[in-house]
Amino acid sequence: MHIMEGYLPVTHAVGWGIASGTILTYCVWSVGRSLRSRPQDKFLLAASSAYMFTLSALKLPSLTGSCSHPTGVGLGAVLFGWRPMVVSGFIVLLFQALLLAHGGLTTLGANLFAMGIAGAWVARGVYSLARTARLPFRVATFLAAALGDLATYVVTAAQLAWAFPDPAGGFVASFTKFLGVFAITQVPLAVAEGLLTVLVMNALMAYDRRELETLGVVPQGGTA
């Protein structure tokens, strides 16, 4: 779950806002440019953003006895890279901050950095590494979605630990505490998101292999 409204000190809120705002501006420009050269991607991009929209609305119970929600960043990051996911992540977070009192406007920068930016970077990075290591496409998709999801909450814990270091143990003690809240809860949910993303990818491969081939995700005519 995201950092609640007003729960980051002003300096941190502003700092994350500037960092994420800059990256978001670059991503909007970059996505706009690639969509002008490949307008046929709009359809599949809308589907991956919609997947993100759905998954972030589902608060799921976890083994720790608390609830959190998956991020849905992995699917789009595997298909289109990390940049479009920053833009979609911003829309999702803004919707939830304005209408659901979930997350917040003052913490939007930090939350976008955790979910849209770090989550998508990790998802894309894991996918590329897994493909370089010659792991099958579905395994790479699973790892990308699950680890991208988990990374979001590790970053959230780090952001809170940075803002609220433990008086005795400093950053490390505080980080461990916030990891206990966010990351441990997220492990089973991240596995669930990984499996669900493979399921959606299977459906896309069954009906829309051509599109995935032109994106370079699956080899032409192969059986990945």
Partner 1 sequence: MNKFWNALLVLAVIGLICVPLALHEKGDETQTFTGTDDQAQQAIKDVNPDYSRWAEPLWTPPSSEVASLLFAVQASLGTLVLGYVLGFYRGRATRDGRANERA
Binders of partner 1 in range 112-151 (CB under 8 A): none
Residue of the chain from 21, 35, 53, 128 that contacts partner 1 (CB under 8 A):
53
- Structure tokens given for 43: 């359809």
Q: Which stretch binds partner 1 (CB under 8 A): 20-28, 115-123, 143-151, 178-186?
A: 178-186
CA distance readout (Å), 12 to 71, 91, 169, 185, 211: 23, 21, 20, 25, 41
How far apart are CB 50 and partner 1 at their closest, in Å? 4
Q: Which stretch binds partner 1 (CB under 8 A): 22-30, 31-39, 115-123, 187-195?
A: 187-195
| 213 touches partner 1 (CB under 8 A) | no
Q: Which stretch binds partner 1 (CB under 8 A): 15-23, 33-41, 119-127, 194-202?
A: 194-202
How far apart are CB 140 and partner 1 at their closest, in Å? 16
| 71 touches partner 1 (CB under 8 A) | no
CA distance readout (Å), 83 to 62, 104, 117, 190: 30, 22, 8, 21
| 96 touches partner 1 (CB under 8 A) | yes
| 158 touches partner 1 (CB under 8 A) | no
Three-state secondary-structure class, residue 4: coil
Which residue's CB is nearer to partner 1, number 25 or number 54? 54
| 88 touches partner 1 (CB under 8 A) | no
| 26 touches partner 1 (CB under 8 A) | no
How far apart are CB 174 and partner 1 at their closest, in Å? 6
The C-alpha atoms of residue 137 and residue 67 are separated, in whole angstroms, by 30
The C-alpha atoms of residue 175 and residue 155 are separated, in whole angstroms, by 10
Q: Which of 73, 36, 88 is nearest to 151 (CA)?
A: 73
CA distance readout (Å), 108 to 36, 115, 117, 222: 28, 10, 12, 42
